[in-house]
Structure 1
Amino acid sequence: MKSEMQDLPRPAASLSWPFPDKPGSGDGFDLARRLRHAIWVYDIDRCRVVLANAAALHLWKASSEAELAARDLSKDMSTTVANRLKQYQAGFEESDATFSELWTLYPHGEPVSVDVIYTGYRLPDGRVAMMCEATGIAEDTPETLRSAEALLHTDVMISLFAASGRELYMNPAARNTWRSESTHLSDIFVDPHDLECILRDVELNGDARRVVRIKTDAGLAWHDMSLKSCRDAATGEPATLVTSIDVSELKRARDRAAYLADKDQLTGCYNRSYLQRHLDALGREDRGAPIALLYLDLDKFKQTNDRYGHDAGDKLLVETAQRIMTCLTDADLLARIGGDEFIVLLFGADSSSELNDRIDRIRDAVCQPISYKTVMIEVTTSIGVARLPVDDLDCEKYVRHADIALYESKRLGRNRWSLFTDDMGRIAGERLRTEEELASAFRLGEIVLHVQPCVDLVSGQVVSAEVLARWLHPKRGLLLPVDFIGVCEETGLIEALDHFVLEQGCALAKLWKKAGLNIGLSLNVSPRQFLDDGFMSALALHARDPDFVPGSIQLEITESVLAEDQDQVAGRLRKMTTLGYRIAVDDFGTGYSNLAYISKFPISCIKIDKSFTETIPDSVPVIRLIQRLAEEIGAHTVAEGIEDTAALETLSQIGCRQIQGNYFSAPIPVTDIREAVRRIERRIATAASGR
């Protein structure tokens, strides 16, 4: 405390200093020995009293200087007191400062509160000690003494500044933060604007509180500062009381939490939550230029996860984000909104050519192979693009537009980008209506089964029928799978459709057997359904039904299924045949099945795809090869898509016995099967009798 501030309220302190060595003498202390008030010299470095007059000995309840020096009181010295003494010493050396405070001494453990003036004292060896002059015993109440003691020991930084900003007082915690003896209020703040704002609040309201960045002797920090307008108790002049708490760790923790709340943890780019707030903010702004919004996802990302594992998928996502970032400016924004989906906001692409170039750069950057362990993973992306005009603030609408354009890119074959058009919006609206109507179609009984008979040309009989799903739409009439299967796959309703066909097909097979119809049923099985353990469980459940006839149901799998893990596929097929189901390969010749494994699969039927039967006679050699392959593995063939007599006669001549197609019957409701069988068999018999 500076000398001119001696009349300020002064904190009490607990001093208990050890004196292990014999005290020496100091020049100029003889006069002090003659004074009636207590004076002693304290060696701050060695923590001992080195000189004391008679009054000081009386105050300390010591019989002699030697006895006082011999006391070992360091055990009771608090860290706060030790730090305060070092602050005094620094003040003595830097500016020959003088301090005046209320301290509490503990001679023989009994508290004595004394007003003391501290000045620097040069010891014979050149070190700076502290000369202590007791001006009188304090008469303050216990409450006052305790509050002064608390002010000394608290970690809260408490300071008093004059109206000019000049420092008037700092408690030990504050002095430990700002060690300079001439701290000005303006010296504390990193940003002068913070000081201006907080002082303006004090002037208006009498107090203010704000978390600000400040300068300390240890570097920059964040402090929670409270300022109150008051008066200097010593002079009565206007002053400002400053209470400060270091909240740097809390601020860093909150900043980190805010960062994590806005960032995608895997890729480090922004997340959906931040993007939503950003779009909301854009919707309130008067934008000066259009913005391009890109909705991007990775083609066949699920297959990468399934084939190489989630570590490979994660690496692909991280690499994708980094590649996109290299194509963006500081004004642009990238967010991962879930799975393999990203949204990019491009600013400043005013012309169509510039926008096209920027999108092409992003797509080219993403579509580069990624090395993972010993393999190179091919990467392609589909992108939907929407432009946000300056005069439309509905940003969410353009996210939907970009999503619609992304769907168009996928529909066109993937690995491309599409710009949203009004026609896309119209088609998307129709698809959305279809989705909403389809969700209730199962509940309302609008999904029904039709069957298409399969004819044996030699016996002239209908031997089986393929089950096909139809939608009896209340307004649009009978819809074929091409009109709604895509929507089912997109919405997850495909599982409900697969379940419906299996349940209804198995029930129909039992019904026909009871009715004396000796006709087998073929049920189509999707690749997704084939690998589903729930599907296997359902097959086993139906097979245990007493009315189940082994061999009455044929499961048609696509050739693409055979191209997967052959051992896994063979195992599942054997389980199905063990349960009593027959296996057919649908659309054979259009996929990439491994012919070396065909003989290992328990296949009873190969269905020749209509792409071959529609190109007769050019495709006859291929059809003969398929027939020969079927004979070698003990299976029979069924030619699909037969529409005319010429194709029928050619197939009959080359030995293809079983025929399915509109030549004999288009798909019909299941209730019409008896009439269809009679009509078909009558037609065959008539044709045979005429030959």
Structure 2
Amino acid sequence: MARADKIDQFAAARRLQTPTWVYDIDACRIVHANPSACTLWQAASEEDLQKRDLAEDMTATVSRRLKQYQADFIDHDATFKELWTLFPNGVPTSVLVLYSGFRLSDGRMGMLCEALPERDELPDNLRSVEALLHTDVMVTLFSADGPPLYTNPAAHNASGNPSAPLRDLFVSSADHAVLLAGLEGGGEHRQIAEIHTKTGARWFDVSAKKCSDAVTGQPAILVTAIDVSELKLARDQARYLASRDQLTGCFNRSYLHQHVAKLAEAKAATTALIYFDVDRFKQINDTYGHVIGDRVLMELADRAIRHGQPDDLVVRLGGDEFLIVLSQASAAPWQERVERFFKGLSAPTEIGSISINTKVSMGISAFDPARTDIDVALRHADIALYLAKNNGRNRYVIYDDQMGAAADKRSRTEAEIEVALDANQFELHYQPRLDLATGRIVAVEGLARWRHPERGLVPPDDFIPICEDTGLIHVLGRQVLEIGFAQAAAWHEAGYDVQLSLNISPRQFSDPHLLEMLEGFAARPGFPVHKIELEITESVLIGDQDGIAAKLKAITRMGYRISIDDFGTGYSNLSYISRFPLHCLKIDGSFISLLPGSGPIVRLILALAQQLDVTAVAEGVEEQAQFDWLKAHGCTQVQGYYVARPCPASELSALLDPATA
């Protein structure tokens, strides 16, 4: 606790030869001083000294330290003995001072200051000198606009020019200007800056404080600098990795939002997004392997950067999907730039001796960064890309509002499909296949239909593509198999000798759980697995030939039959198709509709079926002439409106006579 009787005793202190004064810490003024203190402070009288505002030349560091003294006086009745440099009338004077708490007349805590008659070597002073000698921190006292007044060993050893002024310390003059502005504003400043050293430019954490030279009393700047080069490089690397795609070096989705936010703040003009991906990239990966696939992505990223302006932003969104944000710096309209990008990106890619057809599809969305959210603009570009893919690939489409309305309708349909799957609104209609030799219905194909509670029966073209795109085809495919297999079991139990054909989509076929699911059905008691035919398209056969063949053989070992649907329109290689365990080729309806003009192609498929010893089925038979031509040329079975339209199982049962079973 501070001694409360000191004010009463200060009259006696005025008679002391030792300079003694009372300092009001809050007001930054001396409130009492004996004659010796007035002499020390170069004041004509106590009243003259009381008028001085000591805050005018006080640094922020000294102010904070005095506030800490005040708190220690209150809490601990502390005393301090330190060597201080006073600046009476601007003249530096070093004095060893004993500080203690002193209650002012209004009860606030002030400070009693007693200048000691002799300067002793305090332990703290000795230790501070030793610390300055051995520390790795660079400490330099600069005159306000001249050479250094003091440098500690670390600063002297690191500096390429120990006598250089403060401005020459910085690699960038802008950093020096920032430091001076900070000192002017608050008396102290801290920043990360690049500094000249003997070993070259390095990054330092620089702290600077305005002060006065203890020798001359002139304004000075105390600068401390800590080398943070390794830390900064590590942070820069982490920041780089956080904003970049590791394979291609392009920016990533996270940085995209930062970039567009900056464009919005700068009120940038309308620009465009180019959203592109590689046509049939999965086929490239399957054919050449993922290492070559990665090389293709790296090449496309390089092309996008080469064909762009320096301020264009190239982003890899994931997989083979990229985005280009066009800058406003180019003089050419963005529509012209889109055309140049499209041509530059669609060239073949040469990797060693391999030439890969790397066509791209692009979706374009024009947007104002200050008015349109980037996620909205990205969705518009995605819609345009989707249309470019659906319209045949290797093209670009520019988004308009009509596309948005169609996409919204599609999104609503997608949501309704999810509800329909949960509510079991899907059912199967069955279309018969007629055996031309016996005239009997020997097989039926199960076709998915959606019985919508408001729209009635929805055709497959309205929901199958959406299910394929969204992955809902897995759920729908499972339900189709459940419904179809249950019906096949019921017909078998009723004595109908009829084969059921069900479609397996490419996404279903690639499902790693497909074999497990089919095996589970086949293991059910009384399940007529030998009456089930699974239809796949030719596109399923492209890729890992050994893996595909092994999967098909595993399915046939369970007892299922395999059929290729829409045969003749895909990319089947006749040199390896014989490797697959097939039971049926279904000739695509587009060939049947062109008969007899397409006769040579159909005869070729019929001959192939005969050589492979599989059943040949003609799809889409709608006319008597087509029926007669196929029968005359040895087609095994026909399917189409001429034979029968798809119908529910309840109506089909009347066409299946148990007596013929």
Interval containing the TM-score (normalised by the shorter chain):
0.7 to 0.9
1:497 aligns with 2:472: no
* Counterpart selection for 1:297 from 271, 277, 282: 277
* Counterpart selection for 2:495 from 491, 516, 529: 516
Number of residue pairs aligned between Structure 1 and Structure 2: 543
Alignment of 1:117-516 (within 5 A): 139-178=120-159, 180=161, 182-287=163-268, 289-348=269-328, 354-389=333-368, 392-516=371-495
Give the AA of the match of 2:133: L
Decide whether aligned partners of structure 1 residues 196 and 657 sit closer, same or farther in structure 2, where only a CA change above 3 A counts.
Answer: closer
CA contact (8 A) 1:291 1:347 kept: yes
**C-alpha separation in 2, matches of 1:154 and 1:675:** 100
**Residue number in structure 2 paired with 1:540:** 519
Deviations 1:273-323 (A, max 9, x none): 111111122223322x43122111111112111221111111111111111
**C-alpha separation in 2, matches of 1:191 and 1:590:** 67
Give the AA of the match of 1:222: W
Decide whether aligned partners of structure 1 residues 496 and 148 sit closer, same or farther in structure 2, where only a CA change above 3 A counts.
Answer: same
1:530 aligns with 2:478: no
**Residue number in structure 2 paired with 1:610:** 589
**Residue number in structure 2 paired with 1:86:** none
**C-alpha separation in 2, matches of 1:391 and 1:222:** 36
Decide whether aligned partners of structure 1 residues 558 and 164 sit closer, same or farther in structure 2, where only a CA change above 3 A counts.
Answer: closer
**C-alpha separation in 1, matches of 2:120 and 2:227:** 35
Decide whether aligned partners of structure 1 residues 256 and 530 sit closer, same or farther in structure 2, where only a CA change above 3 A counts.
Answer: closer
**Residue number in structure 2 paired with 1:584:** 563
Decide whether aligned partners of structure 1 residues 158 and 656 sit closer, same or farther in structure 2, where only a CA change above 3 A counts.
Answer: closer
* 1:395 Cα deviation after fit: 3.8
Say which SS state the counterpart of residue 668 (structure 1) adopts: coil
* 1:380 Cα deviation after fit: 0.2
Give the AA of the match of 1:232: D
**C-alpha separation in 2, matches of 1:282 and 1:446:** 48
Does 214-223 or 241-250 show the bigger shift?
Answer: 214-223
* 1:204 Cα deviation after fit: 3.6
Decide whether aligned partners of structure 1 residues 652 and 286 sit closer, same or farther in structure 2, where only a CA change above 3 A counts.
Answer: same
Decide whether aligned partners of structure 1 residues 160 and 381 sit closer, same or farther in structure 2, where only a CA change above 3 A counts.
Answer: same
* 1:481 Cα deviation after fit: 2.0
CA contact (8 A) 2:468 2:507 kept: no
**C-alpha separation in 2, matches of 1:255 and 1:350:** 29
Decide whether aligned partners of structure 1 residues 628 and 354 sit closer, same or farther in structure 2, where only a CA change above 3 A counts.
Answer: same
Say which SS state the counterpart of residue 530 (structure 2) adopts: coil
Decide whether aligned partners of structure 1 residues 324 and 548 sit closer, same or farther in structure 2, where only a CA change above 3 A counts.
Answer: same
Deviations 1:12-68 (A, max 9, x none): xxxxxxxxxxxxxxxxxxxxxxxxxxxxxxxxxxxxxxxxxxxxxxxxxxxxxxxxx
Give the AA of the match of 1:424: M
**C-alpha separation in 2, matches of 1:350 and 1:228:** 46
* 1:171 Cα deviation after fit: 1.4
Say which SS state the counterpart of residue 302 (structure 1) adopts: helix
Say which SS state the counterpart of residue 326 (structure 2) adopts: strand
**Residue number in structure 1 paired with 2:115:** none
Decide whether aligned partners of structure 1 residues 564 and 311 sit closer, same or farther in structure 2, where only a CA change above 3 A counts.
Answer: closer
**Residue number in structure 1 paired with 2:641:** 662
CA contact (8 A) 1:283 1:393 kept: no
CA contact (8 A) 2:287 2:544 kept: no
* 1:622 Cα deviation after fit: 4.4
Decide whether aligned partners of structure 1 residues 562 and 306 sit closer, same or farther in structure 2, where only a CA change above 3 A counts.
Answer: closer
**C-alpha separation in 2, matches of 1:540 and 1:335:** 44
CA contact (8 A) 2:309 2:330 kept: no
Deviations 1:342-389 (A, max 9, x none): 1112234889x8444422322222222222344211110011112225
**C-alpha separation in 1, matches of 2:127 and 2:518:** 84
Give the AA of the match of 2:590: S
CA contact (8 A) 2:364 2:399 kept: yes
CA contact (8 A) 1:190 1:215 kept: yes
**C-alpha separation in 2, matches of 1:601 and 1:394:** 51
Please report the TM-score for the alignment, with normalisation by the length of structure 1.
0.72
Decide whether aligned partners of structure 1 residues 295 and 355 sit closer, same or farther in structure 2, where only a CA change above 3 A counts.
Answer: same
Give the AA of the match of 2:448: A
Alignment of 1:566-645 (within 5 A): 567-597=546-576, 601-645=580-624
**C-alpha separation in 2, matches of 1:204 and 1:595:** 82
Decide whether aligned partners of structure 1 residues 400 and 577 sit closer, same or farther in structure 2, where only a CA change above 3 A counts.
Answer: closer
Decide whether aligned partners of structure 1 residues 389 and 151 sit closer, same or farther in structure 2, where only a CA change above 3 A counts.
Answer: closer
Show structure 1 runs of 5+ residues with no match: 1-137, 685-691
Give the AA of the match of 2:643: F
Say which SS state the counterpart of residue 311 (structure 2) adopts: coil
CA contact (8 A) 1:587 1:610 kept: yes
Show structure 2 runs of 5+ residues with no match: 1-118
**Residue number in structure 2 paired with 1:554:** 533
Deviations 1:206-225 (A, max 9, x none): 32222222233433222212
Deviations 1:50-101 (A, max 9, x none): xxxxxxxxxxxxxxxxxxxxxxxxxxxxxxxxxxxxxxxxxxxxxxxxxxxx
Decide whether aligned partners of structure 1 residues 472 and 158 sit closer, same or farther in structure 2, where only a CA change above 3 A counts.
Answer: same
Decide whether aligned partners of structure 1 residues 628 and 403 sit closer, same or farther in structure 2, where only a CA change above 3 A counts.
Answer: closer
**C-alpha separation in 1, matches of 2:182 and 2:541:** 77
CA contact (8 A) 1:161 1:239 kept: yes
Give the AA of the match of 1:666: R
Give the AA of the match of 1:670: A
Decide whether aligned partners of structure 1 residues 237 and 608 sit closer, same or farther in structure 2, where only a CA change above 3 A counts.
Answer: closer
Decide whether aligned partners of structure 1 residues 622 and 348 sit closer, same or farther in structure 2, where only a CA change above 3 A counts.
Answer: same
Deviations 1:321-351 (A, max 9, x none): 1112221122322111211111112234889
What is the root-mean-square deviation in Å for CA atoms of aligned residues?
2.9
Deviations 1:175-224 (A, max 9, x none): 21236453422332334443343334334433222222223343322221
Give the AA of the match of 1:467: G
**Larger C-alpha radius of gyration, 1 or 2?**
1
**Residue number in structure 2 paired with 1:35:** none
Give the AA of the match of 2:153: P
**C-alpha separation in 1, matches of 2:125 and 2:477:** 84
* 1:152 Cα deviation after fit: 0.9
Say which SS state the counterpart of residue 457 (structure 2) adopts: strand
CA contact (8 A) 2:261 2:369 kept: no
**Residue number in structure 2 paired with 1:42:** none
